[in-house]
C-alpha cells in the first residue's frame, strides 16, 4: 500500500483518487469515532440504509444502524461487537434501514489508530441479492427433493398394490372359481357368485388406484404411451372427447422430464375435467429437438388466472409451474372467463438428452 501511495506522487493526487473510490464504490464505507458516532459515510451507505448523509454524520450512533451480527461460526451478541475489537476482517451484519427494514450485509471493520485519536472504518457489502438467490436455490432443492421422494413413494405403493393386494385378490378369485364349479346348493352357489363379483370389483379398484398413483407405463414404455392411457381413462370417466396430436420424434426422455410432463398434463386435464365444463380437450405434443412443448386446450368456461393464483386455494397451478421451473422450463396459463383455457408447457432438453443413448428412438 505504501509503495502504491508513493507511486501516486503528490498527496493531492492520492486524495483525489481515494475520494473518487470513496464516492463511487458500491460497498458502503463509514467511519465512526471512539464513542461510536458516525463521522463520515459514502453515498453507497445512503443507498443501502435510506438515511441521507446529513442525517447520519454526527447524528447517528452505529448501534442505530445495527440489528445484530454474526461471525461465520455463530450469532454474536453486543458483548462480541466489532466495535470492541481491533479488527474483524469478516462478519455478517443486519443493517437497520431508515424505514426499519432488516438488510443483510457482509461486513469488515478495522481500527484507524493513527487518525485523529483513533477511529474505526466499517465496510458493508450488500448481500440481499445473494441471500435471496441462496434462499431460492435452497427452496428449489427442497421442492425437488420432496417431488422426487413423493414420486418414489407413489411408485412403491403402486407396485405394492399391484403385486401384493392385486395378486392376492386374483388368487382369491381363482379359488372362488374352483369352488363355484363344485356341486353346491343353489343359495350357496349364489353366495359364491356374489363374492366373486365383489372380489373382481375390488381388483378393478386396486388396479385403478395403482394406475392413478403411478402408471407403470410411464417407466416401462415412456411418456406418450402413458399419456395415451391417461387420455383413455379420462374419456371414459368424464365423457370428454380428447384429441392428442403428436409432432416430431417419438422417443424416450430423461425420467425426470417424463414424470414432470406427465404430472403437469395430468393436472391440466384434471382441472379441465373438474372446472371447465368442457366437451372437448385438445393436447398437442411437440418434440422440437431442443425443447418439448405440450399444449392443453379446453373449450370450457375459462377463469381469471391472476385471481386464482392470488387466492392460492389450490396447489395445482403452483405445482405445475414449480415442476417445470425445476427443469428450467415454464408453464404459461392463458384463460379468461368465457374463453376456455390454454396451458402451454415448455421443457428444455439438454444436448445429451437429445443426442445420446438417453433418447432411444421409440416409434409408437
Ligand atoms: N381449465 C380450467 N377451467 C376453469 N377453471 C379452472 C381451470 N383450471 C383451473 N381453474 C380454476 O383455478 C383454480 C385453481 O386451480 P388449481 O389447480 O391451482 O387448484 P384446485 O384444482 O382448486 O386444487 P388442487 O389442484 O390443489 O386439487 C381452480 O379452483 C379453478 O377455479
Ligand atoms: Mg387443480
Taking the C-alpha atoms of residue 87 and residue 82, their distance in angstroms, rounded to an integer, is 7
pLDDT for the residue 357 = 40
Q: Which of 17-21, 58-62, 113-117 has the lowest mean pLDDT?
A: 113-117
Kindly state the cell numbers that stand for 325.
Answer: 421451473
Ligand 2 center–CA 318 separation, angstroms: 9
Task: Summarize pLDDT for 319-350 with one digit per residue, the tens.
Answer: 999 999 999 999 999 999 999 999 999 999 98
Given this model, what pLDDT does residue 355 score?
43
Residues 264 and 324 sit within 8 Å (Cβ to Cβ): yes
Residue ranges for the binding site? 63, 66, 78, 81
Predicted local confidence at residue 5, as pLDDT: 59
Looking at residue 351, what is its pLDDT?
66
**Residue 87 pLDDT more than 50?**
yes
The share of the chain scoring above pLDDT 90, in percent, equals 69
Q: How far is CA 47 from CA 43, 101, 124, in A?
A: 7, 13, 12
**What value does the mean pLDDT take over residues 131-154?**
90
Sign of CA dihedral 295, 296, 297, 301: negative
Q: Which of 70, 77, 125 is nearest to 93 (CA)?
A: 70
Ligand nearest to the CA of 319: 1
Q: How far is the CA of 335 from the centre of ligand 2 (A)?
A: 15
Compare 116 and 215 and report the one with higher pLDDT. Answer: 215
Mean pLDDT, range 52-78, rounded to an integer = 86
| Contacts of residue 91, Cβ cutoff 8 Å, sequence gap at least 6 | 69, 70, 71, 72, 76, 82, 106, 107, 108, 109
Query: Which residues lie at CB < 5 A from ion ligand 2?
Result: 271, 314, 316
State mean pLDDT over 284-307.
95
Enumerate long-range contacts of 131-137, CB under 8 Å, 24 or more apart. 131/104
Is the pLDDT confidence value at 364 over 80? Answer: no
Sheet containing 119-126, strands listed edge to edge, beginning at the edge strand earlier in sequence? 38-41, 28-32, 119-126, 102-112, 87-96, 66-70, 75-76
> What is the per-residue pLDDT for 37?
94
User: Once rounded to an integer, what is the mean pLDDT over residues 62-72?
Assistant: 87
Which residues are CB-contacts of 355 (< 8 A; sequence separation ≥ 6)?
none
What's the pLDDT score for residue 249?
A: 81
Average pLDDT over residues 250-260: 93
pLDDT-derived band at 73 (thresholds 50, 70, 90) equals: low
Q: Is 342 in the pocket of ligand 1 (CB under 6 A)?
A: no
Backbone angles phi, psi at 167, to 5 degrees: -65, -40
Closest CA to 348 of 296, 268, 297, 289: 289
Amino acid at each position: 500500500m505504501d509503495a502504491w501511495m508513493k507511486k501516486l506522487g503528490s498527496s493531492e493526487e492520492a486524495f483525489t483518487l481515494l475520494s473518487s473510490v470513496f464516492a463511487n464504490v458500491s460497498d458502503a464505507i463509514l467511519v465512526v469515532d471512539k464513542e461510536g458516532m458516525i463521522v463520515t459515510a459514502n453515498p453507497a451507505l445512503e443507498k443501502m440504509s435510506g438515511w441521507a448523509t446529513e442525517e447520519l454524520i454526527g447524528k447517528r450512533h452505529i448501534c442505530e444502524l445495527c440489528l445484530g451480527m454474526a461471525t461465520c461460526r455463530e450469532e454474536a451478541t453486543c458483548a462480541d461487537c466489532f466495535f470492541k475489537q481491533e479488527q474483524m476482517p469478516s462478519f455478517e451484519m443486519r443493517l437497520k434501514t431508515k424505514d426499519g427494514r432488516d438488510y443483510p450485509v457482509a461486513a469488515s471493520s478495522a481500527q484507524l489508530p493513527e487518525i485523529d485519536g483513533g477511529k474505526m472504518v466499517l465496510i458493508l457489502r450488500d448481500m440481499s441479492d445473494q441471500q435471496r438467490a441462496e434462499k431460492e436455490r435452497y427452496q428449489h432443492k427442497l421442492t425437488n427433493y420432496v417431488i422426487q421422494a413423493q414420486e418414489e413413494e407413489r411408485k412403491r405403493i403402486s407396485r405394492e398394490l399391484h403385486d401384493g393386494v392385486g395378486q392376492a385378490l386374483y388368487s382369491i378369485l381363482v379359488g372362488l372359481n374352483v369352488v363355484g364349479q363344485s356341486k353346491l346348493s343353489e343359495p350357496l352357489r349364489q353366495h359364491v357368485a356374489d363374492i366373486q363379483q365383489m372380489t373382481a370389483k375390488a381388483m378393478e379398484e386396486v388396479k385403478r388406484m395403482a394406475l392413478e398413483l403411478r402408471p407403470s407405463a410411464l417407466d416401462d414404455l415412456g411418456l406418450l404411451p402413458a399419456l395415451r392411457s391417461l387420455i383413455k381413462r379420462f374419456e371414459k370417466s368424464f365423457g370428454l372427447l380428447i384429441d392428442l396430436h403428436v409432432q416430431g420424434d417419438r422417443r424416450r426422455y430423461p425420467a425426470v422430464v417424463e414424470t414432470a410432463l406427465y404430472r403437469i398434463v395430468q393436472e391440466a386435464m384434471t382441472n379441465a375435467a373438474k372446472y371447465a365444463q368442457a366437451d372437448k380437450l385438445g393436447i398437442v405434443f411437440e418434440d422440437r429437438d431442443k425443447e418439448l412443448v405440450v399444449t392443453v386446450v379446453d373449450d370450457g368456461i375459462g377463469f381469471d388466472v391472476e385471481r386464482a393464483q392470488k387466492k392460492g386455494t389450490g396447489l395445482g397451478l403452483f405445482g405445475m409451474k414449480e415442476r417445470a421451473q425445476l427443469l428450467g422450463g415454464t408453464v404459461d396459463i392463458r384463460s379468461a372467463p368465457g374463453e376456455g383455457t390454454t396451458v402451454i408447457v415448455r421443457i428444455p432438453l439438454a444436448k445429451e438428452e437429445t443426442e445420446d443413448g438417453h433418447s432411444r428412438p421409440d416409434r409408437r
